[in-house]
Amino acid sequence: MKTYVVGSGVTKVDRHYDKNYLVLIDEAVGKTLANSGLDASDIEYLVVSTAFSESILNQADPSTYIAQNLGFRNVKALTVSSGEVSGAVALDYAHALIRSGKASRVLVVGFEKMSEYPSWVINRVYAKILEYEVEGIKNVAPSDYAALIMNDYMRRYGVSRESIIKWSIKMHENAVKTPHAQLQFTISADSLSKALRISEPLTMLDSHPTSDGAAALLLVNESVAKKAGTTPIELVDVESSVNLPIYLRDDLTYFSATAAAYKRLSSRNGVKLTTNTAVNVYDTYDIYGLLTIEALEICARGEAVKCVDEMPYLNVGGGLKARGHPVGATPLYQVHELRELMSGTSWIKYDGDISLAHAMSGPDNNAWLILLRGWV
Amino acid sequence: MKTYVVGSGVTKVDRHYDKNYLVLIDEAVGKTLANSGLDASDIEYLVVSTAFSESILNQADPSTYIAQNLGFRNVKALTVSSGEVSGAVALDYAHALIRSGKASRVLVVGFEKMSEYPSWVINRVYAKILEYEVEGIKNVAPSDYAALIMNDYMRRYGVSRESIIKWSIKMHENAVKTPHAQLQFTISADSLSKALRISEPLTMLDSHPTSDGAAALLLVNESVAKKAGTTPIELVDVESSVNLPIYLRDDLTYFSATAAAYKRLSSRNGVKLTTNTAVNVYDTYDIYGLLTIEALEICARGEAVKCVDEMPYLNVGGGLKARGHPVGATPLYQVHELRELMSGTSWIKYDGDISLAHAMSGPDNNAWLILLRGWV
Amino acid sequence: MKHSISIFWRLKDNHYKIYVTKCGDCGRVAPLKRLKCPYCGSRNVEHIESRGFGELINYTVSYYRTEGSEQYLPRVVGLVKLDEGPVIIGEITDVDLNELSIGTRVEAVLRKYSSEDPNGLIYYGLKFIPVIKK
Amino acid sequence: MKHSISIFWRLKDNHYKIYVTKCGDCGRVAPLKRLKCPYCGSRNVEHIESRGFGELINYTVSYYRTEGSEQYLPRVVGLVKLDEGPVIIGEITDVDLNELSIGTRVEAVLRKYSSEDPNGLIYYGLKFIPVIKK
Ligand SMILES: [Zn+2]
Ligand SMILES: [Zn+2]
């Protein structure tokens, strides 16, 4: 059975000091149901995605409390928590539920509250995406790896530090046009020298901000989709792969998990990405965005910096860099942005029939791809 | 497509101070693959279940590091973390994957390491299953609710404190016959007066211990199952429901989420549980075990204490009470024990054709049921 | 235990005060300021401040030890049926265990919930004490 | 940051010493004592203790701040190619940033990883320093 997205809604990505996760989710769910024509009582499954609820909010299985507080009765509720790919996993689960006929209306909800504690507390939480017994215990930070990878990329391909920041500049330009984006201002390469250093040569300008947010997607089967008020988008397929840890890789500049997942997805579905395909990739750091579009075979290796200018539908919401990275919700924001693009409600017109969301935990440690297609 | 369990393996439930989660999982997975005839490289999906890895082990998405360390290459790896029902959710996900045709060989792995910190630290972690903003922040403990429920049950049905402990006595008797059980000794009602109090009238004798453990189940589709070396068990269906918080319930002694899930599961599959059906239920506290067999309509309300004597296949592994409760793995231990029972390798002979595992987070906050059937 | 300052600040109406959510649709009442009626899911709800008086309807003497809680054990945790109707979970404090029983009238007072180790912030919130007879 | 005593104790071979896992099947080497070869999944592996010498092949000067880390910033985090073959991630310490470069010879030494706030346990483990020229 085919799976369709018939509703989606997001909150503005921000530091929402005045709202708890339930309020954010209520807003995202309200928008999602409103534009789908369905009601809370129609929902069979509530699939919740969060990366750090347990650490930050002291809340195991928030799905139970979301159901209790937001009036979902007789729903099957559960929580998926799989690091930075949580949202992609939640979509895969929902896809399997619909496709198997186990459910016909699944609400996927993602959220994160990264601003509940000051950065030095949250940084420790975020570092849990790395392997604690090897990396975390030594205080190795996710940004340290991004810096090492950036070093290798610049060295191997003779790419300059200044050209890498082009990625972030583009993301901020896209964010300015995206109402739900967090960083709605432009930046320039001139600011690079004054930018706060994180892990040299990486600066704040290269990195995602600290973000709160919630996003929801309503997935249904074909018969429900046909009755929906809005034009559905098909969630065609999900694919993923795991990479070796950084220190075991022969080439730091090749995201081989993303590449392997793409090869399988591409051949199984007979699709090929080009610079004109809408893609929404994980630019946790700008260098990761560049390596991802190379691993997805959109650009030749070492050429991504040039490629960025030729990709009108690259991270139209501003990417993790400028839309922000409310971790457990990020893949749902990505799909929401692609849905807007494909249904003609984005700030830019798109004629393609497919689009792709990419999520990964750390530097390609675990990479996931979600393939979408317009209603045909 | 139907789903079959063709392999399972568990570690002894214990305080494994000398083993990390990877070593425990390696042992459980080794046993699972050994009796299934399949190899690690045959696995398409690695679905990992843990409740508290993020809090206790500082490890988000352990699935990535399990794949990296245990030699799973080209696998799709992900982590489900949904409080005390994590393992049941992982099985539901796997069931959907097989049934949808998205995968034909899924390895489900559950684990928990509750003994990494002293009890006063772990108690705080375990309390995250309650709603932090309402209950956790006030230091309300999971055992406090069990005590309130026990009070109401005794009062309402005139059940004595001494008769409730019959549940735990039976669990310890079953554990003695179960090699992987944690508490392999018998107890008597006499010990009740001297038992360490937790939340009066609840004592240590009424409660699950602190447990480490790992369990794995190999789920496959019919064509793979037919080639398996061992007799497969069918994973027929999964059902669940969410209850109101305790303080909003009109009747604390009725587990209405478990009851609602059972009614749906029962009518959809045309099955009815009796005192002669093998069931493996969540006796986080003995009172919860009693209320569960009433909600499952095996015993009349207020009669469970008498019923226990008439149920030869009740928690044959000793239940959470005596087998132990390595939280993220517990539902997988339950299904493993049912598989042993149905395939004739348990300590007791079983002639029934169906069996049921029940898991829940807290006092019926979120309840899940898994229906199994013998190979026909 | 360390709590988030912003979480604690946001929750002040539910831990420094007691509110009751009354549903305009099904008519039922529930404790705390809630977005929706937990019984019927309606958003048509009214928030009424409770006077903080009620009756203890069930309780436990709890020895569940968590970091930093040792000095406060045992604690009494119970269900209080507020005069406004709903039942709330809370701690009963400043009480002689021999004088406590089901049916005891209680009232809400501000007390210490917990503190950071060893010299950190102190978190306050409402607990219940037996109503002092005049 | 607080670590589990039992976790730290179990990890002593990977943080107080450096071991290399050599695969009997594919022949590749990987750092740390491992159950299996991470390249081919084989269990046919041998654990060899490294002499702790190697070459810095990539590094970053890190300002990533976590609770309790302020006094140690910036830190140098880098990849060290051990003389026995595999690459390991670690901290380079006791070093003048101006004298550090790719290719610097380094050796493992025991140093402080972190400590509990404010007077708690101190956790030790291996870091790297430039090899002192004789
Ligand atoms: Zn209502
Ligand atoms: Zn090998």
pLDDT in tens, B222-231: 999 998 877 8
Which residues does residue B211 pair with via DSSP β-bridges, in sequence order? none
Q: What residue of A is the nearest CA neighbor of D3? A: A137
Which listed ligand is nearest to C39 at the C-alpha? 1
* Under 8 Å between Cβ of B282 and B293: no
Residue B225: predicted pLDDT: 95
Give the global pTM.
0.98
What's the Cα-to-Cα distance from A375 to each of A28, A134, A273, A275, A339, rounded to whole Å? Answer: 23, 46, 19, 22, 11
Q: In the predicted model, is pLDDT for residue A371 greater than 70?
A: yes
* Domain range enclosing C39: 5-130
Burial A175-191 (b: 16+ CB within 10 A, else e): bbebebbbbbeebeeee
* Under 8 Å between Cβ of C123 and C113: yes
| Spacing of C-alpha C15 from chain mean position | 7
Q: Are A17 and C6 inside 8 Å of each other by CB?
A: yes
Q: CA B202 to CA C77: how far, in whole Å?
A: 13
C-alpha B288 – ligand 1 centre gap (Å): 29
Q: For the CA atoms of chain D, what is the radius of gyration?
A: 16
Residue B179: predicted pLDDT: 98
pLDDT tens digits for range C77-87: 999 999 999 99
**How large a percentage of chain B has pLDDT more than 90?**
94
pLDDT tens digits for range A246-294: 999 999 999 999 999 999 999 999 999 999 999 999 999 999 999 999 9
Residue D119: predicted pLDDT: 66
Domains detected in chain B: 3-118+210-234 (3.40.47.10), 139-209+236-374 (3.40.47.10)
* Average pLDDT across chain C, whole number: 92
Q: How far is B370 from chain A (nearest CA, A)?
A: 13
* Average pLDDT across chain A, whole number: 97
Q: How far is A152 from chain D (nearest CA, A)?
A: 8
Q: How many CA within 13 A on the CB side of residue A304?
A: 28
- Which residues contact residue B155 at a Cβ distance below 8 angstroms, ignoring those fewer than 6 apart? none
Q: In the predicted model, is pLDDT for residue B233 greater than 70?
A: yes
Q: In the predicted model, is pLDDT for residue C122 greater than 90?
A: no
φ/ψ of D95, rounded to 5, equals -135, 140
Chain C partners within 8 Å of B196 (Cβ): 63
Q: Are B117 and D35 inside 8 Å of each other by CB?
A: no
C-alpha D33 – ligand 2 centre gap (Å): 14
- Which residues contact residue A212 at a Cβ distance below 8 angstroms, ignoring those fewer than 6 apart? A13, A14, A15, A16, A19, A24, A112, A113, A114, A115, A326
Residue B10: predicted pLDDT: 98
Name which of A56, A70, A116 is nearest C35 (Cβ-Cβ). A70
Burial of B361 (0-12, 13-18, 19+ CB in 10 A): buried
Say how many C-beta atoms besides its own lie within 10 A of residue A229's C-beta: 11
8-state DSSP, A317 = T
Which of A18-32, A220-234, B2-16 is predicted with the least confidence, judged by mean pLDDT?
A: A220-234
Mean pLDDT of B167-176: 98
Kindly indicate the confidence band of residue D117, based on its pLDDT and cuts at 50, 70 and 90: low
C-alpha A127 – ligand 2 centre gap (Å): 29
**How large a percentage of chain C has pLDDT more than 70?**
97
Q: In the predicted model, is pLDDT for residue B369 greater than 90?
A: yes
**How large a percentage of chain A has pLDDT more than 90?**
94
Which residues of A have a CB under 8 Å from any CB of D? 119-121, 123-124, 127, 133-135, 137-141, 143-144, 147-148, 151-152, 196-202, 244-248, 252
Mean pLDDT of B306-335: 98
Which listed ligand is nearest to C23 at the C-alpha? 1
Mean pLDDT of A326-352: 97
Kindly indicate the confidence band of residue A37, based on its pLDDT and cuts at 50, 70 and 90: confident
Q: Is D100 on the interface with A (CB under 8 A)?
A: no
Q: CA B125 to CA B132: how far, in whole Å?
A: 11
Residue A245: predicted pLDDT: 97
Q: In the predicted model, is pLDDT for residue B234 greater than 90?
A: yes
* Under 8 Å between Cβ of A4 and A222: yes
Q: How far is B123 from chain A (nearest CA, A)?
A: 12
Q: Is the omega angle on the peptide bond into residue D118 within 30 degrees of 0, that is, cis? A: yes
Query: Which residue has tokens 């991802």?
Result: A292
Q: What angle in degrees, to the nearest 10, is found between the helix axes of B330-342 and B86-100?
A: 60
Mean pLDDT of D49-63: 98
Kindly indicate the confidence band of residue A74, based on its pLDDT and cuts at 50, 70 and 90: confident
Chain D partners within 8 Å of B40 (Cβ): 41
**How large a percentage of chain A has pLDDT more than 70?**
100
Q: Is B40 on the interface with A (CB under 8 A)?
A: no
Q: CA B189 to CA B174: how far, in whole Å?
A: 16
Mean pLDDT of C33-42: 94
Q: Are B70 and D36 inside 8 Å of each other by CB?
A: yes
Q: In the predicted model, is pLDDT for residue C118 greater than 70?
A: no
Q: What angle in degrees, to the nearest 10, is found between the helix axes of A142-157 and A286-295?
A: 60
Residue A73: predicted pLDDT: 84
8-state DSSP, A134 = T
Q: How far is B317 from chain A (nearest CA, A)?
A: 26
Single-letter amino acid code for the residue at A157 = Y
Which chains, if any, share at least 3 CB pairs under 8 A with chain A?
A: B, C, D
Name which of D4, D34, D41 is nearest B73 (Cβ-Cβ). D41
Q: CA A289 to CA A325: how far, in whole Å?
A: 14
Predicted-complex ipTM score: 0.97
Number of domains into which chain C is organized: 1
Residue C134: predicted pLDDT: 61
Q: CA C106 to CA B126: how far, in whole Å?
A: 30
Q: Is the omega angle on the peptide bond into residue D74 within 30 degrees of 0, that is, cis? A: yes
Angle at B363 between CA B90 and CA B13, to 5 degrees: 55
Q: CA B282 to CA C45: how far, in whole Å?
A: 36
Q: In the predicted model, is pLDDT for residue B284 greater than 90?
A: yes
Which of A152-161, A253-262, B283-292, C6-15 is predicted with the least confidence, judged by mean pLDDT?
A: C6-15
The phi-psi region of residue B48 (left if phi > 0; otherwise alpha if psi is between -120 and 50; otherwise beta) is beta
Q: Are C77 and B152 inside 8 Å of each other by CB?
A: no
Max distance between CA atoms of chain C, in angstroms, equals: 48
Q: For the CA atoms of chain A, what is the radius of gyration?
A: 19
* Under 8 Å between Cβ of A165 and A194: no
Kindly indicate the confidence band of residue A238, based on its pLDDT and cuts at 50, 70 and 90: very high
